[in-house]
Structure 1
Amino acid sequence: MQLFDLVISGQLVLEDKVVVGEIGVKNGKIACIAKEGGTLEGKEHKPFGKAYIFPGFIDTHVHCFSNPDEGFIRTSASAAAGGVTTFLDMPYDLPHPINHVERFKRKTEQVEKEAIVDICLWATISKFDGTDQIGRLAEAGAVAFKLSTFETDAYRFPRIPDHEMLKAMKLIGETGLRAAFHSENNEIISDLMERYRQAGSVYPRAHMETRPPVTESSEVLKLMEFAYWTGAKIHIVHVSHPRTVDLIENFRQSGLDVTCETCYPYLLLDVNDLDRLGPKAKMNPPLRHPEDVQGMWKHLQSGRIDLLSSDHAPWGKEKKEAGNNNIFMASSGLSGVELLVPLMYDGAVASGKLTPVEFAKVMAQHPAEVYQIAGKGKLAQGYDADFTVIDPDASFTIDETRLRSISKMTPFHGRRLRGKIVCTFVRGRVVYDGSEVVAEPGYGTFVAGHVRQKARTGTTM
């Protein structure tokens, strides 16, 4: 009988069903799956009883360096505690965005020194004359490219003009990587915000009123038409409104390779929470009406939303509280990589809205497929031994003061959740034991994107 490095047992969430069984791990990979207990022998055995053993979850939308005080160590510790075994870090770093290959290479070196879980890296382009870097960034290992139609910062997080966008989409399409977009209409939002400011209408709900759904849906329509003419594969991040998903589905049915995500706040909060909590519940796009939230749930349950992400944006209290008397002064975004899995397990699986198999698809399998991350996203032989173990019978209460992020704020403070992460494994090693992060910085590794992986192996995914 083969002796494995590790054998774990519990309720295995496979691609098509849940079975009680065992997984044998060898050299950080899944070497065997036994759909019954007591058949595998290992140097170490970790039984998890009735707990679900999910494929390691992947958060595709994380900002480690929008606030440089956060960084890889804090974020990857948060990820481990949150059951996220791989995350994709966005390129809008402060002070310099990752729009040049030399910056990208330096960041990969930093991953190798500081990561606790595995990390892929996004790349972007500069506002003008930056498309010459696309091929080089793809070859260096970028997992995808992020661009924006809204200008958060002219240098760090710019709005890419349409002519540059078309050129970029064509070149990104040629690499085989996916182009993803923050899709909000800059002109409409800027005009509305200026009108509201002049009128002194700076109450919390004004954030939503100045970013109505048309500011999202209109830009998504434009981008999908650009994708049609350039051949790019595109992804729409943080979709906030069901109308946007309807439009995406229409283009998808016509043959366009377009995928989309939503983030946990758009399923678990609404604009009334923005009224109640103010800056603590401010993000871009904004929270929507309760009926829109229900529409988003219907799209998720029907499979029209491909994946879930956190859009982790760890602002300090001073950045948020700056908007206490004027919502437009507060930074947008929430800390979320540690809370994405527990919140969505409670809201989706424990509530009966998604099965464990469906949850594994939007949290692991689809993220790996959308971004062509080889060897991750499934419990399958030959895949990385990344596991998120959740005890469905346990519960806990969110305490924002104990978050591992530098941001000690969440609109979910005090919420009681059903289901608890009892262990997180990355490549066969425990990185979180249910109470403490036990792996050291440097255990996690840089996971290169499809172009670099293909060049190394000479194969496709």
Structure 2
Amino acid sequence: MPTTTVTGHRLLLPDSPDPRPATLTVDPSGKISSVQEGWRKRDPASDHGNWIDAQDNIVIPGLVDAHVHLNEPGRTEWEGFWTGTRAAAAGGVTCVVDMPLNSIPPTCTPANLALKRAAASGQCYTDVALWGGVIPGNQAHLKPLVDAGVKGFKCFLIESGVEEFPCVSEADAQAAMEILQDLPTVLLFHAEFDATPADPPAPAPPSTMYSTFLRSRPEKLETDAISLITKLQRLYPALRCHIVHLSAASALPLIRAAKSSGLNLTVETCFHYLCLSADDIPSGRPEFKCCPPIRENVNRELLWEALLDGTIDCVVSDHSPCITELKKIDEGDIMGAWGGISTLGLGLSLLWTEGSKRGVSLAQILEWTSKKTAEHAGLGEVKGQLKVGFDGDFVIWDPSAEFTVTKDLLQFKNKLSPYEGLILRGRVEQTFVRGSLVYDHRTGFERAPSGRLL
């Protein structure tokens, strides 16, 4: 690969709140070899290789989406590495970290990890890392999975929705933590747990009403789960634990107390919890269903506050697609539909559109979606910043461009999203992975997939 140089009047460099003129060079190995102050005019006599002048567009580090369900092998009709990584690249994501479910088999043994890697080989437009899974009885596989390169482990404290990935009991979780506490890894929790099972509920209102679904997944499920997680973590303080897709603002005091006490706890939330509100979801629209659910606007504002004050560490997509039939769109059956929201390719524009209303800077957004997510996935030394020695993953970004979300725009496999029809600000013009152009807004994908398995 030739040397790639990108210059412009607005590069978003580490530890800088505002973009500034700079010139960045990516060497043939794909690493950033120099970052120089100031825009440069090309000198054909001395500047060889690829030359990109971003002019007044902003050059930002590629996003790292640390919570994505690509579902291959086994449920490739839901999503796959080819379509999922194309969608990611179109949205400025240069690395995704794939969850251990809903593929078949799940990534819970070294043999299953090998099947996942074989399925991904030659299909990825972005770099891809992999999470492993903790399920009842797979404790003997955890250390071999760490040795084989998984970035951490995901478990559920409530049924996952797929039978091949059952939830863990408190004893299962503790057994896994006993093994993982001395390893360079992290344990991720789907934090919903019913500590006090209630009597059978009374007959529910129509299953087409979003309020019916919202009542079925109360905030207490999240607060009960986080209480259990922090109790267990005090027994294993060396192990970092991570709360995935936090939706309940009522759990924030528990999280703040845990962090203040010194627990090594990190937390993510999702684009949909920050950009959508239950108050605005109409009946009969299953595309808005996800678990935990999107909650009311007052809850959303508290999540934004927690993100801004550092209680919440990062933002991810939790891209969790399925085939259209499972979403039960024609019936409008929210209660019976698969729970998952498709977001790959839209997250940066969603946060920029919504964050701009709150005075949030682009640097803050990239801190949450690139630097912190890279660190969370154990990639903080190579991904997430425009810095010498890091991978040359960068995006040419037009912050003022507006576009309407349409099915034709969506790159993921099943083109169903609650964001369809929204007008968003900020558009990815080009995406580069290790200095190579992967996606161009005008021409699309011209290269064969060259992403790596990390």
TM-score (norm 1): 0.90
- 1:29-428 matched pairs, under 5 angstroms: 29-38=31-40, 41-65=47-71, 67-69=75-77, 70-127=79-136, 129-153=137-161, 155-186=163-194, 195=201, 198-202=203-207, 203-231=209-237, 232-276=239-283, 278-321=285-328, 324-348=331-355, 350-373=356-379, 374-428=381-435
**One-letter identity of the residue aligned with 2:14:** E
- 2:132 alignment partner, SS class: coil
> What CA deviation, in whole Å up to 9, does each residue of 1:167-215 have, x standing for no partner?
1022222212011110112466x858x525x345532211111111111
Kindly indicate whether the alpha-carbon contact (under 8 Å) linking 2:139 and 2:176 is maintained by their aligned counterparts in 1: yes
Structure 1 residue 322: Cα displacement: 5.9
Kindly indicate whether the alpha-carbon contact (under 8 Å) linking 2:143 and 2:179 is maintained by their aligned counterparts in 1: yes
Q: 1:100 to 1:439 in 2, by over 3 A?
A: farther
Counterpart check, 1:444 vs 2:451: yes
Structure 1 residue 110: Cα displacement: 2.6
- 1:229 alignment partner, SS class: coil
Distance 2:206 2:303 in 1: 28
Q: 1:439 to 1:372 in 2, by over 3 A?
A: farther
Kindly indicate whether the alpha-carbon contact (under 8 Å) linking 1:262 and 1:307 is maintained by their aligned counterparts in 2: yes
**One-letter identity of the residue aligned with 1:52:** I
**One-letter identity of the residue aligned with 1:171:** I
Distance 1:286 1:247 in 2: 19
> What CA deviation, in whole Å up to 9, does each residue of 1:269-316 have, x standing for no partner?
111233346311110001111111111111112222111100001122
Distance 1:187 1:329 in 2: 24
Structure 1 residue 324: Cα displacement: 3.4
- 2:86 alignment partner, SS class: helix
Distance 1:124 1:106 in 2: 14
**One-letter identity of the residue aligned with 1:105:** A
Q: Corresponding residue for 1:8?
A: 6
Distance 1:287 1:106 in 2: 34
Q: 1:211 to 1:153 in 2, by over 3 A?
A: closer
Q: Corresponding residue for 1:455?
A: none
Identity, % of aligned positions: 27
Kindly indicate whether the alpha-carbon contact (under 8 Å) linking 2:195 and 2:224 is maintained by their aligned counterparts in 1: no
Q: 1:441 to 1:111 in 2, by over 3 A?
A: farther
Number of corresponding residues: 440
> What CA deviation, in whole Å up to 9, does each residue of 1:394-452 have, x standing for no partner?
111111343111221111111111111101110100111123442555411101xxxxx
> What CA deviation, in whole Å up to 9, does each residue of 1:13-66 have, x standing for no partner?
112112111101102111111110117734221111121111110001100117
- 1:33 alignment partner, SS class: strand
Structure 1 residue 111: Cα displacement: 2.4
- 2:181 alignment partner, SS class: helix
Distance 1:228 1:323 in 2: 48
TM-score (norm 2): 0.92
Residue from 441, 445, 450 that aligns with 1:434: 441
Kindly indicate whether the alpha-carbon contact (under 8 Å) linking 2:204 and 2:212 is maintained by their aligned counterparts in 1: no
Distance 1:199 1:296 in 2: 29
Counterpart check, 1:21 vs 2:22: yes
Distance 1:315 1:191 in 2: 31
- 1:175 alignment partner, SS class: coil
Distance 2:333 2:284 in 1: 13
Structure 1 residue 243: Cα displacement: 2.3
Q: CA RMSD in A?
A: 2.1
Name stretches of at least 5 consecutive residues in structure 2 with no aligned partner.
none
Q: 1:199 to 1:413 in 2, by over 3 A?
A: closer
Distance 2:351 2:339 in 1: 21
Distance 2:93 2:176 in 1: 31
- 1:404 alignment partner, SS class: coil
Structure 1 residue 389: Cα displacement: 2.0
Kindly indicate whether the alpha-carbon contact (under 8 Å) linking 1:120 and 1:446 is maintained by their aligned counterparts in 2: yes
Q: 1:138 to 1:406 in 2, by over 3 A?
A: same
Structure 1 residue 163: Cα displacement: 0.6
Q: Corresponding residue for 1:452?
A: none
Q: 1:415 to 1:243 in 2, by over 3 A?
A: same
Q: 1:326 to 1:356 in 2, by over 3 A?
A: closer
Q: 1:440 to 1:90 in 2, by over 3 A?
A: farther
Kindly indicate whether the alpha-carbon contact (under 8 Å) linking 2:59 and 2:396 is maintained by their aligned counterparts in 1: yes
Kindly indicate whether the alpha-carbon contact (under 8 Å) linking 2:284 and 2:331 is maintained by their aligned counterparts in 1: no
Q: 1:211 to 1:280 in 2, by over 3 A?
A: same
Structure 1 residue 256: Cα displacement: 0.6
Q: 1:323 to 1:90 in 2, by over 3 A?
A: farther
- 2:24 alignment partner, SS class: strand
Q: 1:418 to 1:341 in 2, by over 3 A?
A: same
- 1:152 alignment partner, SS class: coil
